Amino acid sequence: MGFMTLLTAGLAHGGLYALVALGLVLIYKTQGIVNWAHGELLMVGAFSGYTAFVLVGLPYPLAFLIAVLAGALLGAVMERVAFRGIVHEHHATLALVAIGFSVIIKGLARIPFGADVYTLPPAVDAGPLRFAGAIVTAQSVLTITISVGIALMLLAIFRYTRTGRQMQATQQNLNGARIVGVNTGRIFSITWALAAAVGAVAGLLAGPTSLLYPDMGSEFLLKGFAAAVLGGFYSVTGAIVGGLLVGVIEMLIGGYISTAFQQVSPFLIIIIVLFVRPHGLFGRRPVERV
């Protein structure tokens, strides 16, 4: 495979990782929670889309909408039912609750879908395109476009909408937000719904390239972590750039070194970044205060 082909394929995968990382970063910025169940939100998105599109036979845009809503609802419910009450507890307790949800969701998915593997047909049915010496699938183009589009949309929401600015305020200073009358509970729900919806979109877009099975989420979670760490874990822009970079690095390692190393590239990225530049590419160096 040529360099350009690897690069575009990497960007397409990276777009998905960016979406996962976006959700992780949003939740972390708002409540300081690392959502270890984020991969499962992606899986729920993929399977909801599969059910609506393949099993029920709804048109793709409608299936897309259903998947996004299913993900958003699940995310908001998880926050409301579990996390809101224990947000001040130890990170380990929060991690355990998230992992608990991840196990529950996977178990529930296994009841109808079992141990089989499913495929979601691509959203656009077109042959591969040739572009600057690279062979690009239409799905790749769609994935990159939607990922970047969603990222820009989120940035616009933060900057220009009332709710978006309240979300930012809540992220920067929870008590400050409460003092100026922000309904922080509502902001938490919206944050999770948004993060989960973005994850569900990633699941739908991943459908055609990666297979659908109840455990599919963990791989995306890892790469989402790598992307978020690379981007600094606090930055929306960082998450996007981090995601794209992780995708490209992974493809280049797979193409030029070996596929065995490709598997561990996200771990190596996490370890190297945290050793060399713990605040990531876009994070600010943390200040220790007495």
Q: Which span sits near other proteins by CB under 8 A: 53-61, 163-171, 199-207, 236-244?
A: 163-171
Q: Does 133 bind other proteins (CB under 8 A)?
A: no
Nearer to other proteins, 123 or 273 (CB): 273
Question: Using CB under 8 A, which of 233, 239, 249, 251 touches other proteins?
Answer: 233
Nearer to other proteins, 5 or 235 (CB): 235
Write down the least CB distance from residue 7 to other proteins, Å: 25
CA distance 151 to 220: 18
Write down the least CB distance from residue 43 to other proteins, Å: 13
Q: Does 117 bind other proteins (CB under 8 A)?
A: no
CA distance 113 to 271: 35
Report yes or no: 41 and 74 within 8 Å, Cβ to Cβ: yes
Q: Does 271 bind other proteins (CB under 8 A)?
A: yes
For residue 79, with 0-12 CB atoms within 10 Å meaning exposed, 13-18 middle and 19 or more buried, which class applies? buried
Nearer to other proteins, 141 or 168 (CB): 168
Nearer to other proteins, 127 or 290 (CB): 290
Give the CA distances from residue 226 to residues 45, 104, 181, 272, 278, in Å, rounded to whole numbers and listed in that order: 21, 24, 36, 10, 12
Write down the least CB distance from residue 175 to other proteins, Å: 5
Q: Which span sits near other proteins by CB under 8 A: 66-74, 80-88, 143-151, 239-247?
A: 80-88
What is the DSSP secondary-structure string of 174-231?
HHHHHHTT--HHHHHHHHHHHHHHHHHHHHHHHTTTS-B-TTTHHHHHHHHHHHHHHH
Question: Using CB under 8 A, which of 218, 237, 252, 281 touches other proteins?
Answer: 218
The first and second tokens of residue 57, run together, are 């036979």
CA distance 169 to 161: 12
Q: Does 257 bind other proteins (CB under 8 A)?
A: no
The full length of the chain comes to: 290
Closest CA to 99 of 21, 32, 36, 27: 36
CA distance 230 to 94: 23
Q: Does 116 bind other proteins (CB under 8 A)?
A: no
Question: Using CB under 8 A, which of 70, 169, 200, 204 touches other proteins?
Answer: 169
CA distance 235 to 188: 18
Question: Using CB under 8 A, which of 125, 133, 160, 175 touches other proteins?
Answer: 175
Nearer to other proteins, 121 or 185 (CB): 185
Specify the residue for token string 């099993």: 55
Question: Using CB under 8 A, which of 55, 56, 104, 132 touches other proteins?
Answer: 104
Q: Does 34 bind other proteins (CB under 8 A)?
A: yes
Contacts (Cβ under 8 Å, ≥6 apart) of 271: none
The residues of the shown chain that bind other proteins, judged by CB under 8 A, are 28, 31-32, 34, 82, 85-86, 88-93, 95-97, 99-108, 110-111, 162, 165-166, 168-169, 172-185, 218, 222, 225, 229, 233-234, 260, 263-264, 266-268, 270-271, 274-275, 278, 284, 286-290
